[in-house]
Chains A and B, each alone.
Chain A
């Protein structure tokens, strides 16, 4: 089925809303636990982002596909079950194929189950929208989460270890910012990021309003 112009517009709008306007981290402030925990090394963060995006996309699609049959009363149970199944799959695949990263992420892969972003998207979007829109919404949320985590991880790894993806990018005289490796460093970075992102959002909104009186 070819996409009509309207479809493309809706898809773009759904994606942009999930990715930027209602970004799970700096607008909704969800999923903070993993944001703080896994962002001190870029390689771990990438694995976490891929895992979370996979889970949120697949869960949204599945919840959406079952939405007309699932009794309202037990929908949360069904959603949790679906999310848990995908998370276990991700955990097993990491253990089998990327054991080093799986070890480094420790319990945080399993904890994707309780990540509010996924539950939130399933409940708020996927349970009332069709599969295609839910896929796009899940993708937007997952990538929106990844955008924030990867930005934080790049800065934390660079300042904390003097490396990017494990490769040294500064000379030996570099003094490592130990605090960036510690959880406190993540709080600073997250705070700064939210500050910056909200400033950018407010500014673009003000400009739009001024531009179209």
Chain B
């Protein structure tokens, strides 16, 4: 056999063997990897929907809460399902809207939980968003600094917050203030030492409220129509 032919055949054979081995391992781990991914995401959905306070909830508990309190529904124009928090009668109480945007080091993904109906004192206004919570599923921020967006101290500030659309065009829905500063109704404390991450989160959150409100309105309309049908 000529040397060139051998070289080519050798490369093909080696590639074949190693590709097969890697595919084999991939096949063996695929199911588990997918389960891990789903579990990781669901745990954060529960946090955003304020159904748990425990960041290290075990898989069985996540499964139980999902079966009892959460359903999935389609969301116009999006591939991913929208997670819905249900009350004891199976009526929607809140939605976990996916939020994403550029962080300081890389993209940040998460969920923002919003109540299905606005809080009673804002009932007339219609456009108020009552937040249930926020959860960041993935990010590449600095451990100990920007990564603290996942900490309870930061995320619990969003629970039970009511946001009204800004009066002026282009103004912000929500603002992050220095730690220790007095807070207005639409303000939360930023993360000290992670100004760039805080700014990035503030920017993409503000960019997503408009779409969330639009989606929420159509979801509310759907729900009202369904209830009328039921009557």
Contact = CB atoms under 8 A, between A and B. Distances in A.
Nearest to B3: A71
10 contacts: A70-B10, A74-B7, A81-B14, A84-B18, A85-B21, A89-B25, A95-B29, A104-B143, A178-B144, A182-B142
Nearest to B137: A103
Contacts of A161: 144
A181 B142 CA distance: 8
Interface residues of A, number: 31
Interface string B124-168: 000000000000001010111100000000000000000000000
B36 interface: yes
Contacts of B19: 85
A78 interface: yes
Contact of B10 (A71, A84, A99, A103): A71
B: interface residue count bin: 20 to 34
Contacts of B18: 81-82, 84-85
Interface string A24-47: 000000000000000011000000
B32 interface: yes
B138 A103 contact: yes
Closest 3 A/B residue pairs (Cβ): A96-B29, A85-B18, A96-B32
Contacts of A41: 143
Interface string A75-92: 001100110110011001
| SS of B interface (majority) | helix
B22 interface: yes
A77 B11 contact: yes
B110 to A, nearest CB: 14
B33 interface: yes
Contacts of A84: 18
Contacts of A78: 11, 14
B15 interface: yes
Interface of B: 3, 6-7, 10-11, 14-15, 18-19, 21-22, 25-26, 29, 32-33, 36-37, 40, 138, 140, 142-145, 193
A92 B37 CA distance: 13
Q: Which of A82, A84, A88, A96 neighbours the largest number of chain B CB atoms within 10 Å of its CB?
A: A96
A89 B143 contact: no
A93 B145 CA distance: 29
B145 A181 contact: yes
Given A85-B18, A89-B25, A99-B36, 6 more contacts: A41-B143, A74-B7, A82-B18, A85-B19, A85-B21, A96-B32
A71 B1 CA distance: 13
A10 B6 CA distance: 35
Contacts of B32: 96-97
